[in-house]
Amino acid sequence: MKQQNQPTVQNETSKQSAAQKDNRSQYVTRESVLLLLSDDEVAAVATAETAARLADGDEYLDMEQLDQGVQKAHQKKTPMGRVLPKKSIHEKTWQKILKQLPARPSAKVSVS
């Protein structure tokens, strides 16, 4: 019986370990994104966070959902306290940030 229980424990441990790695990699990504910002950009982002909302069509990153990639503001409420608006940072910095993001699965396109 002990032999049957051990693989289960190992599998559960592996699952926990994988989840911890995902959490750590997401945190490291957030941290690495923030380190790319200049002092001026940090100030601009802090100012943007006090706004009621972004203008429709403004691009942003949700710092708590970086796996979602670049998002566009619409009439829905944008989570301003955790948003990194594209318009608040330099284009060169934005491009560096995009390179730091986790790879997203590409959409499959079928040709008829």
* Structure tokens belonging to residue 105: 């699965």
User: 3 — phi, psi (to 5°)?
Assistant: -70, -35
At 85 the pLDDT is 93
At 93 the pLDDT is 96
Helix, strand, coil percent content, the chain, rounded in steps of 5: 55, 10, 35
Q: How confident is the model at residue 25 (pLDDT cuts 50, 70, 90)?
A: low
User: 55 — phi, psi (to 5°)?
Assistant: -70, 150
Q: How buried is residue 112: exposed, middle or buried, by Cβ count under 10 Å (0-12/13-18/19+)? A: exposed
* Structure tokens belonging to residue 83: 């948003």
